[in-house]
Structure 1
Amino acid sequence: MIATAKDGGITVQRYYFPIFHNGETQTDEVGELFGSAELAVQYGARVARDIASDPECDRGAGTVVIVVDAPGAEIARHRVGSVGGAKPRKLLHNGAP
């Protein structure tokens, strides 16, 4: 979904953040709106850091936060508990993978 905000004409796109943990994927049915893929990738990194900050988090479980754009293209992966864990996909000049 691509939308234009009425208050400033800013074009935003919905991004989704499914989480892969213990061999299963927890889907994100709602997603979040961002003005750029870069902001969505940053948000995905924050989600991964938040998960890693949980005292009960198993940092060795290989948990990954995936960043997916509205058309369904994966644009980044953030491994939970790793330093600088982002694995961004190469983006074209228009933000498309």
Structure 2
Amino acid sequence: MRRYYFPIFHNGEAQTDQVGELFGAAELAVQHGARIARDIASDPDYDPGAGTIVIVVDDSGAEIERRELRGGRKGRAPR
């Protein structure tokens, strides 16, 4: 198992991930990073113009994946 981190850049500011998550393969960490990006983009308050980027970094500091958010849903349907 290896630890992966998921820092986020939003509106020109970095939000670091000090804890990270353990995964048995880099592909699983990339899938987790994609899920984080989807969660952010699906937030009704998400601003698509914010230039948000989710990065997947391994425990050695190497960047594995970079996912730039381009869209988002404004206003969810009521439940």
Instruction: Give the root-mean-square deviation of aligned CA atoms.
Output: 0.9
Report matched runs for 1:16-55 at 5 Å. Answer: 16-55=5-44
Cα distance in 2 between the residues matched to 1:75 and 1:42? 11
1:77 aligns to 2:60 (yes or no)? no
Give the whole-Å Cα distance in 1 for the aligned partners of 2:70 and 2:18: 24
CA contact (8 A) 1:48 1:81 kept: no
Runs of 4+ deviating beyond 4 Å:
none
Q: How many residues align?
A: 71
Structure 1: 5+ residue runs without aligned partners? Answer: 1-11, 83-97
User: Are residue 64 (structure 1) and residue 49 (structure 2) matched?
Assistant: no
> AA paired with 1:70?
D
User: Structure 2 regions of 5+ residues with no counterpart?
Assistant: 72-79
Higher RCO (CA-CA < 8 Å; seq separation 6+)? 2
Structure 1 residue 81, shift from structure 2 partner:
3.6
CA contact (8 A) 1:16 1:29 kept: yes
CA contact (8 A) 2:3 2:23 kept: yes
| 1:6-21 correspondence runs (5 A) | 12-21=1-10
> What's the TM-score once normalised by structure 1's chain length?
0.70
Q: Contact conserved, 2:12 with 2:51, CA < 8 A, in 1? A: no
Q: Which has the larger radius of gyration?
A: 1
